[in-house]
Structures are given as C-alpha cells and as structure tokens.
C-alpha cells in the first residue's frame, strides 16, 4: 500500500507540476497568488485526467516494479534471513 501511495504521489506531482508550469506561461495573472491559483487548478485537472486515462497502465507498472523489488529483496521486510546456528 505504501509503495502504491508513494509512487502515485510522485507521479501526480510531476504531472501536476508540468501542467501548472505550462498554464503559467503566457498567463494573464497579475500577482503571484493569481498565477499560483491558476497553476494549482491546471495541475489538479491534468493529474486527474492523466490517472483516468493511464491509471491501469500505471497500476500494472507498479505491480511489476513492486514484484521485482520483492524478488530481489530490495524492499524492507522481504529479505531472506540466514538461519541462526544453535550452539
């Protein structure tokens, strides 16, 4: 679950930042606050649209990456432990 949320936050942040920056290029905003608000709205809309269009592909990629990281024991809690010798 944590891997899912972290990757979605990172991907959504990247998509939103790109869309928000593009919205402010050539913007008619007079102040920083107005430009920030326009970028926030554009970023939110772009992120929602991205996940509606590519959500299943993102989920499939997350499953593949998570499974691969588990297989190679990269993630915490999935490593193989050595047997302790008694004696």
Per residue, the 3-state secondary structure of the chain, as one string, reads CHHHHHHHHHHHHHHHHHHHHHHHCCCCCCCHHHHHHHHHHHHHHHHHHHHHHHHHHHHHHHHHHHHHHHHCCCCCCCCCCCCCCCC
Residue of 85 and 14 predicted with greater confidence: 14
Q: How crowded is residue 27: how many other Cβ atoms within 10 Å of its Cβ?
A: 13
Q: Provide the pLDDT confidence category of residue 59 given band limits of 50, 70 and 90.
A: very high
Q: How crowded is residue 11: how many other Cβ atoms within 10 Å of its Cβ?
A: 17
Give the per-residue pLDDT at 56.
Answer: 95
Domain ranges across the chain: 2-71
Give the per-residue pLDDT at 17.
Answer: 86
pLDDT tens for 15-46 read 888 888 777 676 676 787 887 888 888 888 99
Residue 62 pLDDT greater than 90, yes or no: yes
Q: Provide the pLDDT confidence category of residue 50 given band limits of 50, 70 and 90.
A: very high
pLDDT tens for 2-20 read 889 999 999 998 988 888 8
Contacts for 75-82: CB closer than 8 Å, 24+ residues apart: 75/3
């Amino acid at each position: 679950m944590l891997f899912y949320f972290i990757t979605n936050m990172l991907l959504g942040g990247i998509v939103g930042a790109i869309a928000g920056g593009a919205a402010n290029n050539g913007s008619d905003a007079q102040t920083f606050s107005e430009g920030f608000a326009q970028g926030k709205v554009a970023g939110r809309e772009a992120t929602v649209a991205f996940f509606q269009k590519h959500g299943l592909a993102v989920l499939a990629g997350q499953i593949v990456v998570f499974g691969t990281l588990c297989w190679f024991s990269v993630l915490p809690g999935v490593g193989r432990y050595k047997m302790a010798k008694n004696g």
